[in-house]
A and B are shown apart, each in its own frame.
Chain A
């Protein structure tokens, strides 16, 4: 039997292969594990993710010098993809930690849950290294289909089902739009390989076919990162989905979506950057306003974090926008590494904040309302302090990761000649303090005696502690991260 590609290409996807096998194994194993014994499955899942993480450098070493294209240009392993792969694996592992008791004490089976998370992670890993519109699309669907199920995993909870239905219908619709956009791009460029698309775009004149194709592709991408005007699903899904899944949705898929967004638009549509940048600029402005103003009105913590993640998507779009304006006289381009740093910061602070939402149990369930945080500083000063760090970071107050990330993004926007957007962004980030600090106010300023219970979950607490440490470290000593991000850029 002959392969259309050299067998060594398989080494490039070694982590993905191993993770897929392990996920399938867990799915089979789940059929024989009784309810209540699923913690083992969770730990095995975490071990599988760790194995995949360990295999990434191995794959990079074995498969040859980076960047290494494989399968006829379908996938490319480069430092950019490795950066995202590590973050995605981290986000998935933390989500599983959050889920341990959350799913364990629920009446729903846990085995498939972990397997679905792993499949989703596989999809995201492929997204990170996809360099062909078809491979990107397939990876995206693998990730998304697992997530539709996860959103509705608590199937007897009306809200969870509602979230799943909304997510599925809108998600499927956006996938269709994306696919249609891809097909138009194919019509205009004659290829789906991003490198070929770029060469073809540079050579062909502007055409409405291509324009519609790029706009539709952008719409699909904007849906995945929950940017206006395609953001409407996010708060509802975040509110309805099981809390660990909300945490996962706000981080993992978004990171992966940013990876393909950046790759498609910089590598593939790069020659047309001047044309699509205004579209992204409009979306960024709208997203920042909608997300931050929308969050002002929320009483439900998960909804608020949902809207806040929309706002953050808007900030991150500034980085994409800045990248589009090319390098400056010193040969530096702030845009992309600003996004990389920002996304790392966003991962730490968002997961941390959600971790505390998982840990604080009010009315026998995870916290829902901002009032549930009342008086937390007295009952658990450490938890309150940790939450305060995340809130400060989310609002972009130094010395936290969020400030460093926002600083890079805003200066990238300034540098790229979008000072008005940067102004809007800083003003919106000041607005965001108001709603983030509603939680701080509840924790420290309000003398509440709510029935707040602290779930004794060392695993989650440890994950939160890691997030606190990361948030502060990235905020106080960002240099190593900056250097790392700078080495992980797209060509």
Chain B
């Protein structure tokens, strides 16, 4: 179906424009229009799930291409593979839930709130659909603005600080990424600095860059890799760049936190899959690069878990647990094998569902008590039994209990990590244990024991609307936990392609270094970077021939 992606991207924008024409007093109508728009967007995104093409090939489907800035080669190019399709489905689902979940949480400036949420949805879907680097960057940046306002206007006490911190952190990363895009663009055409260009027509086409990846010299790839890394690692967020996340999460309104955890962080992981690995395969498979990312991921897992353990604020605890979970995702990706990458993608989705759910649950109790401090609760299970039950399910999903989604994701990641290097898996497993520890301890302190605060005795249990917002998440948690096959099938072909690309680059480089070592041995033929690049290119087809058996 052509035009589906354009429809998905701009449907929320249309809803936002429609909201602008409603008077701000008619909050009921505003909520209705916003929810219906997001609902339609979700239904419209369902064809992505039923498309069988994703399960049989790793190609980009639903493609659309229009000229945008012809003199630069910029195109309005859209297309998705299985990975992007899953993330879009997650986005439309969570956006819909967020609209519905905000009815009572947001009591001021509703009109602007829903306008910003809808614009945010446009930006997020656009990021996952874009097949043109320029377009991708536009959506990537545009999306920051509504999120800034969501945190800044409807956030908690330190919202002003958190909002600008979020914006600046992400912006610093993304502007460096922009330079990498520019460098790639020039390398593809006339050359960049001392790297001789390929002489192709100017383009920002992402599949084209995937195709020429093997021709990018490894030393340029390493530069590009770290420039992309900065952009995506801040977004993920990976260990030393994570400090914006707890602030943003704690101060954001519930829906903001859900979107932030559920989708925005996934844009970072998606960036690694869509750009870092396939465009810089030689750099990604370089041992020290891979090891640096893996070490940062493992630090993220352990550090995030340990910091989560000592939090007094439930929301901050969940925020730090995100750092740990995303560490798992990145560990899976940089195991650089099919199991790791597939597990990482699934864990991205899982994290969106379970952490999104946890933020919704925290929001529910916050609306009633206007506090999120763990010590203000205790014995809640006797007052709000249904709430306690829902919390338990989502919490267990987040911990990774078998038959729930988290288990499938973490297990697959650990398999991937083990295959790459058993020591990585050994460190990461500590994170799983810590994860269970802080979550269960949280549950114990909030829900079990005597009711210690009088205010908690009169708390209302969850109402139908709140159950309805959580129900789809629980359904998916159980579905993925029991029968993850369709989800794995969605991403299998794309993951294979990534692994093949990286493996080829590794083999090509190894072949290249062997030959370079032999030429370096012969006097009078110094091995220059230029010859290394020339050697890498012819070695690639040979590697492709070897690979099917080797893998």
Mark A residues whose CB is within 8 Å of B.
328-330, 377, 392, 397-399, 403, 407, 410-411, 414-415, 417, 419, 422-423, 426-427, 429-430, 433-434, 437, 440-441, 444-446, 478-479, 482-483, 486
Contacts and interface: CB of A to CB of B under 8 A. Distances in A.
B175 A419 contact: no
B164 A434 contact: yes
A422 B185 CA distance: 15
A2 to B, nearest CB: 48
Contacts of B69: 478-479, 482
Contacts of A328: 190-191
A174 B152 CA distance: 45
Given A329-B190, A411-B185, A398 B179 contact: no
B144 interface: yes
B14 interface: no
Contacts of B163: 441, 445
B190 A479 contact: no
Nearest to B189: A330
A410 B190 contact: no
A414 B192 contact: yes
Contact of B179 (A397, A422, A482, A483): A422
Contact of A445 (B159, B172, B175, B199): B159
A482 B71 contact: yes
B142 interface: yes
Most chain A CB inside 10 Å of its own CB: which residue of B141, B175, B190: B175
Contacts of B192: 414-415
A415 B187 CA distance: 10
A458 to B, nearest CB: 22
A405 to B, nearest CB: 13
A444 B176 CA distance: 28
Interface on chain B toward A: helix, strand, loop, or mixed SS? helix
A156 to B, nearest CB: 39
Given A414-B192, A415-B192, A445-B153, A433 B145 contact: no
Contact of B171 (A399, A411, A414, A433): A433
Contacts of A434: 164, 168
Interface string B144-186: 1100110011000001100110011001100110110011011
Nearest to B176: A426
Contacts of B183: 414, 419
Contacts of B199: 329
A397 B142 contact: yes
B167 to A, nearest CB: 7
B517 interface: no
A329 B138 contact: no
Contact of A414 (B112, B138, B176, B179): B179
A-B complex: 6 closest residue pairs judged by Cβ atoms: A426-B175, A398-B138, A445-B152, A329-B190, A411-B182, A430-B171
Most chain B CB inside 10 Å of its own CB: which residue of A392, A403, A430, A478: A430
Contacts of B160: 441, 445-446
Given A329-B197, A398-B141, A411-B186, 16 more contacts: A329-B199, A397-B142, A398-B142, A410-B178, A414-B179, A414-B186, A415-B182, A419-B193, A422-B179, A426-B175, A433-B168, A434-B164, A440-B148, A444-B149, A478-B69, A479-B71
Interface of B: 68-72, 112, 137-138, 141-142, 144-145, 148-149, 152-153, 159-160, 163-164, 167-168, 171-172, 175-176, 178-179, 182-183, 185-186, 189-193, 197, 199
Contacts of A399: 138, 142
9 contacts: A330-B190, A398-B141, A410-B182, A423-B179, A427-B176, A430-B172, A441-B160, A444-B153, A479-B70
A453 B152 CA distance: 25
A437 B148 CA distance: 10
A402 B192 CA distance: 24
A411 B164 CA distance: 27
Contacts of B112: 377
Contacts of B190: 328-330
A328 B191 CA distance: 9
Contacts of B191: 328-329
Contacts of A407: 178
Contacts of B178: 407, 410, 426
Contacts of B144: 397
A50 B72 CA distance: 33
A441 B176 contact: no
A469 B510 CA distance: 55
Given A399-B142, A430-B168, A441 B152 contact: yes
A481 to B, nearest CB: 10
Contacts of A422: 179, 182
Nearest to B137: A398
B167 A437 contact: yes
A422 B72 CA distance: 19
A429 to B, nearest CB: 7
B135 to A, nearest CB: 10
A392 B145 contact: yes
B175 A427 contact: yes
Contacts of A377: 112
Nearest to B142: A398
Given A398-B137, A398-B138, A444-B149, A486 B71 contact: yes
A94 to B, nearest CB: 26
B445 to A, nearest CB: 34
A392 B148 CA distance: 12
Contacts of B72: 482
A90 B182 CA distance: 33
A76 B418 CA distance: 72
Nearest to A328: B190
Given A429-B175, A444-B149, A479-B70, A397 B159 contact: no
Nearest to A428: B175
Nearest to B72: A482
Contacts of B176: 423, 426-427
A433 B167 contact: yes
Most chain A CB inside 10 Å of its own CB: which residue of B70, B179, B191: B179
A344 to B, nearest CB: 15
Nearest to A385: B20
Nearest to A429: B175
A441 B160 CA distance: 8
Contacts of A478: 69
Contacts of B186: 411, 414-415
Most chain B CB inside 10 Å of its own CB: which residue of A330, A433, A445, A478: A445
A478 B134 CA distance: 13
A479 B168 contact: no
Contacts of A444: 149, 152-153
Contacts of A419: 179, 183, 193
B197 to A, nearest CB: 7
A410 B71 CA distance: 17
A445 B392 CA distance: 36
A479 to B, nearest CB: 5
A486 B72 CA distance: 12
Nearest to A479: B69
Contacts of A446: 160
Contacts of B141: 397-398, 403
Contacts of B142: 397-399
Nearest to B171: A430
B160 to A, nearest CB: 6
Nearest to A332: B190
A437 B164 contact: yes
A190 B70 CA distance: 45
A427 B153 contact: no
A411 B190 CA distance: 13
Contacts of A427: 172, 175-176
Contacts of B70: 479
A447 B11 CA distance: 31
A446 B149 CA distance: 11
A219 B145 CA distance: 39
Nearest to B152: A445
Contacts of B167: 433, 437
B25 to A, nearest CB: 14
